[in-house]
Chains A and B, each alone.
Chain A
Amino acid sequence: MSDIAIRVDHVSKKFRLYKERNQSLKSAIMRGRTSVHEDFWALKDVSLDVVRGQTVGLVGDNGSGKSTLLKCMAKILYPDKGSITMKGRLAALLEVGSGFHPELSGRDNVYLNGSILGMSRREIEMKFDEIVDFSGVREFIDQPVKNYSSGMYVRLGFSVAIHVDPDILLVDEVLAVGDESFQAKCAEKFVELRKAGRTIVIVSHALGTLASMCDSLVWLQHGDVMATGDPATVIAAYRGHDGP
């Protein structure tokens, strides 16, 4: 089908829980092994389709596999079984300010961070003013970012990320940055992206925000998909279950 932007096909992801982990050569040789581990399945046979232009939220308790799923989509982790297919340009907002160098100026860091997130130089040049205005740190753009307040730092990082303008945007709980007015700006930007037909996948614990933003929700529990569909129904089911 052509209107599926993300297809997660029977994905399982295993982590190793180390009882004993040795990263030194000595212990590897002495014991003849580097580690003793147990397998832990963070995702168990998860399948889901995200339709192009939809905003989908992933909910679940801590350790339910939401972030793992998102990282698999972002190609940071690789599934042990199954596959994930993406259609279109992908950007993942898992952290703001990735790769910022503290000694370099805000300007240099915008270019650096932009290219890490996959923007071309020309694109960044075109959007530079927009990015800086959005972040509200114009006066300090030629200062090294280590002198920024933590709020300014994340605002600049977030502005770059939000301007990547991908077909598919993966977001991991980074919405809550900056002061109230900045958050309002971010919410507005998300509405704009949705209107422009972008596909968005969000991981968050803020059920209220998710309910208003998303077209559908996916509830994960211990690596299993418990429910998918209409936000109100999924939230009701999630709230109704008896703890982990």
Chain B
Amino acid sequence: MSIRVNVRRYRELFVNLTQRELKGKYKRTILGQLWSLANPLALMVVYSFVFTFIIRMTPEPGDPSGLDVFPLWLLCGLLPWIFFSNVVNQGMGTLLANESLIKKVYFPRSVLVLSSSAAIAVNWLVEMSVLVVALALFGAWTVFLWLPMLVVFMALLAVFATGIALALSIANVYFRDTQYFVTIALQLGMYMAPIIYPVSLVKVQSDRIGPLFANVTLLDIYRLNPMERFIAVFRRLLYDNDWPAFDDVIACVLWAAVAITLGMLVFSRNQKKLAEIL
């Protein structure tokens, strides 16, 4: 079988599995696909209530967009985070969920993880489109100029998240503890990244404490979190409508490259053994 036939064949399998995921998920619900918007909207309402009404938090207005709407500011960080967390969480479980398939049919196992990511990415694309329209309606119409850049970074985040999901899906086959551990890690992760609060608050604390050791500050450590970089870029593009910081861009590219390389390496080393181990 030539490689070209192989690629075409598995591309079709990938598309079909993605469709299975999308079509099967909201079967027998009245709202159907609209449910995928419900979760981020509910979170947005809750956080907005808590952080603008009870705890008065005011992130800087968008510059140069001039936007000053907390729910929109929140969503610019929250939607990428939810996407990342879903890809990792669901991708991690796909090998276990498709155990019977893996034991009975040969195909590249990575297609399972990739199609899980793709199905989530489709929903994310819808969410982000709604967000972009909302941003424009509230006055940040220049957001449309940044759409090409936005797509590039969405792709980068998808690559980053999928790389992690590939590695964790294998880990989860060996140790079922992985899924519970990662669920907790993701919950903590949400608060360790500037999603519901601006990074400037971390900077205030960091400056107050001063350097921890040598020249390393709390903020430096905080910024090791790859999601911090991604969210900074998304906020810059969507909320501020301006060029993201150069070091953030480099960090995103590097993190994505490292994650996918590691993920593919771990996966390809272990995929032959999967039918036996599961």
Contact = CB atoms under 8 A, between A and B. Distances in A.
Q: 7 tightest A-B contacts by CB? A: A103-B27, A75-B106, A95-B104, A25-B177, A115-B16, A94-B104, A115-B13
State the main secondary structure of chain B at its contact with A: helix
26 contacts: A23-B174, A23-B175, A24-B176, A25-B175, A25-B178, A71-B275, A76-B105, A77-B275, A90-B106, A92-B106, A94-B104, A94-B105, A95-B100, A95-B105, A98-B104, A99-B98, A99-B105, A101-B24, A103-B28, A104-B23, A104-B24, A112-B16, A115-B9, A116-B16, A120-B12, A121-B12
A76 B27 contact: no
Interface of A: 15, 23-26, 28, 34, 71, 74-78, 89-90, 92, 94-95, 98-99, 101, 103-104, 108, 111-112, 115-118, 120-121, 144
Contacts of B181: 25
Contacts of A98: 100-101, 104-105
Interface string B74-104: 0000000000000000000000001011111
A61 B202 CA distance: 69
A108 B17 CA distance: 11
A71 B272 CA distance: 12
Given A104-B24, A104-B27, A108-B23, A76 B103 contact: yes
Contacts, number: 82
Given A24-B176, A98-B100, A104-B23, A120 B9 contact: yes
Contacts of A118: 9, 107
B1 interface: yes
Interface string B9-24: 1001100110110011
B12 A115 contact: yes
A79 to B, nearest CB: 10
B247 interface: no
A76 B100 contact: no
Interface in B1-52: 1, 8-9, 12-13, 16-17, 19-20, 23-24, 27-28
